[in-house]
Structure 1
């Protein structure tokens, strides 16, 4: 009996080791991908650094990257890493957005959600000091439906409101039960999204800032009512709102 117990113990031990080995092998099969490579001076010393965009797919053949990071290798072989959230199609744009004479790294990563949103990051490596400059927060928008097939949108940042005529949607809104003979059945807020787009643009002469685009919708996500553009300029260590524009979207041209 003792021998049988010993043999059983040995068998279990080697089976356990096999499971651990297989699990370890699976963990080590994560494929690190180099997605892009650029050569730019991002420190301001006149010498060019090599910037790699790296990622690890969620699984084999997947376009979703569960891990993404930017690796910057300086001529002296020093390296710097910027980790960002997972997503799709990470991209780095090089613009001097804080106006110190050195190109910054503006990073965008698509989330892949139904709203067509992305995450954005902004870093500088001037004088070999990696600093997160952050990006401007989306505008604070509030909106709601009104009687007679109308809606109102307010930009809290500037204290300004806009009213929209939605009579071209009356038939659909009645069918959905949102209205009854033009009267709103119950208080209903508009759907406000974060940045669908944030990108560097020239704001003051040749100086760059950022332009953001936010979408607002009505009865459901695809019921796009319009867009709010915001233009930002980095000054005195923070983002300042320069301009806002509200554009109503005709339902027939809905995106």
Structure 2
């Protein structure tokens, strides 16, 4: 379902003294044929040269009326805040994708997609809702295997970790390949949200959500969950989910 927001409209001549322009794009996001201006603004505690920003806010300036619609973001602090315009809901009107790096050790991202077609604001995607919706179980198994499962999607993946090295395997496994004790990993929150075109004759985008699979520690990357999301008319659904593993040097197997 679309989520509607009531937004405050104003017409400032310039940014406040403690606000900085983080990114700007131009495109017809209302569908009236007139290009609009889309801004990300935010406060930089370390001044104009700082790379961290908080109070990050989306501002949409209508190309015809010049009125501005201000959209506060729930998660509004991070690094490298950028905009991308593209049609994600298949109505031939560009939507607004906001991407922000959280900056934490987990490499999480903050993502929002808004539609402003016909001057009506709807939230199409947010990373918090995605993280709540897609849950995974990561379980170490005997004989140097790790299972990654989604009960929601009825999917199971098996990762072979036998090439992780003798010291690593000896930490968790006995010499006969049996686990010393039950052990779990984790699929972390969404790290990247990549627009992709899956059909040559289609101008709209699908989304690929990327999540890191880890072992008992954050530094122990086992692979990645790649979730292809397609708009179904009301929301983004998973149309294909894969697990990608990290390659090892070929010579180590000979």
TM-score, structure 1 as length reference: 0.80
The match for 1:87 among 78, 81, 92 is 78
Inter-partner Cα distance in structure 1 for 2:61 and 2:187 = 40
The match for 2:97 among 101, 106, 109 is 106
Question: Which structure has more helix as a fraction of its residues?
Answer: 1
Aligned to 1:64: 52
Any gaps of 5 or more consecutive residues in structure 1? 1-28
Aligned to 2:214: 217
The match for 1:33 among 7, 11, 20 is 20
Displacement, 1:149?
1.9
Aligned to 1:171: 166
The match for 1:76 among 49, 65, 83 is 65
Deviating beyond 6 angstroms after TM superposition, the runs of 4 or more aligned structure 1 residues are none
Aligned-residue Cα RMSD (Å) equals 2.1
Inter-partner Cα distance in structure 2 for 1:145 and 1:36 = 43
Inter-partner Cα distance in structure 1 for 2:122 and 2:216 = 42
Aligned to 1:22: none
Cα 1:94–1:165 change in 2 (3 A) is: same
Inter-partner Cα distance in structure 1 for 2:153 and 2:60 = 39
Q: Confirm or deny: 8 A CA contact 2:208 2:228 kept in the other structure.
A: yes
Q: Confirm or deny: 8 A CA contact 1:225 1:250 kept in the other structure.
A: no
Cα 1:199–1:223 change in 2 (3 A) is: same
TM-score, structure 2 as length reference: 0.80
Q: Confirm or deny: 8 A CA contact 1:143 1:151 kept in the other structure.
A: yes
Displacement, 1:230?
1.0
Aligned to 1:202: 197
